[in-house]
Amino acid sequence: MGSIDVAGADDLPPTIALVDDDRNILTSVTMALEAEGFRVRTYIDGAEALRGLTAQPADLAILDIKMPRMDGMELLQRLRRQSHIPVIFLTSKDDEVDEVLGLRMGADDYIKKPFSQRLLIERIRALLRRNELARDGDDGTAGVVARGDLTLDPARHACTWRGQPVDLTVTEFLILKSLAIRPGHVKNRDQLIDAAYGEHIYVDDRTIDSHIKRLRKKFREVDNQFAHIETLYGVGYRYRDDG
């Protein structure tokens, strides 16, 4: 299966892949997104979406969790083997376990059904904007960030630890960059939410905790002694300064 990259000819509006087995949602959300200037491709299940996204990459994907043939979790897992595409999960009202599991598997955000289309559009714009920031380094921290064994290259969306690549989602990359830029300084959850999602976007504190857990897991797969992302209980997180 070929690699899936984030699409992005500068002169074209962003393409959103919408995956849901509810045709009413497909129709209504497509109309709302197209009214905002987005291009939309819809898929009725995960298997169809995987084929479609392999053939034609998109800039962002919105995935329902519960679908026939291939659910959103499995689709996300397969996408994350090949792509950093930003992903928003659509979850049912009571699917808290699914939300946390989805974030740990590499989703960037989630929205509960029933949802406001305006909220969804705001989250899409925030994700696309920070995806550009993560790639281009236009947030005032352009250039490679090197902290001991850690290297972050925003332009290439590349992270290495002791020379070994660590594959991060956009959200994970931005959270880690926010911590590593000022090692030893504590960042509370609100500051990390602003760094990863942008201001004026409400995200539950648990979302940041889930991303931090996934970051640690990924680094420990490369180095089982990794302990540089420290928790200060009741305060926040910091990147340990060994200098």
pTM: 0.63
Q: Which of 4-13, 39-48, 83-92 has the highest mean pLDDT?
A: 39-48
CB count, 10 Å around CB of 21? Answer: 16
Instruction: Give domain 15-134's CATH architecture.
Output: 3-Layer(aba) Sandwich (3.40)
CB count, 10 Å around CB of 5? Answer: 11
pLDDT per position as a tens digit, 175-204: 999 999 989 999 998 888 888 877 666 677
pLDDT per position as a tens digit, 93-143: 565 555 666 666 778 888 888 888 888 998 898 888 877 765 654 444 457
Please answer whether residues 192 and 208 qualify as being in contact, where contact means their C-beta atoms are separated by less than 8 angstroms: yes
Q: Where are the alpha helices (DSSP H) in 140-242?
A: 170-181, 189-197, 205-222
Q: What Cα–Cα distance (Å) separates residue 210 from each residue in 20, 98, 108, 160?
A: 24, 12, 11, 21
Residue spans in the chain of domains classed CATH 3.40.50.2300: 15-134
Instruction: Give domain 137-239's CATH architecture.
Output: Orthogonal Bundle (1.10)
For 141-169, the DSSP string reads --S-EEETTEEEEGGGTEEEETTEE----
Average pLDDT over residues 154-169: 88
Residue spans in the chain of domains classed CATH 1.10.10.10: 137-239
The one-letter amino acid code at 189 reads R
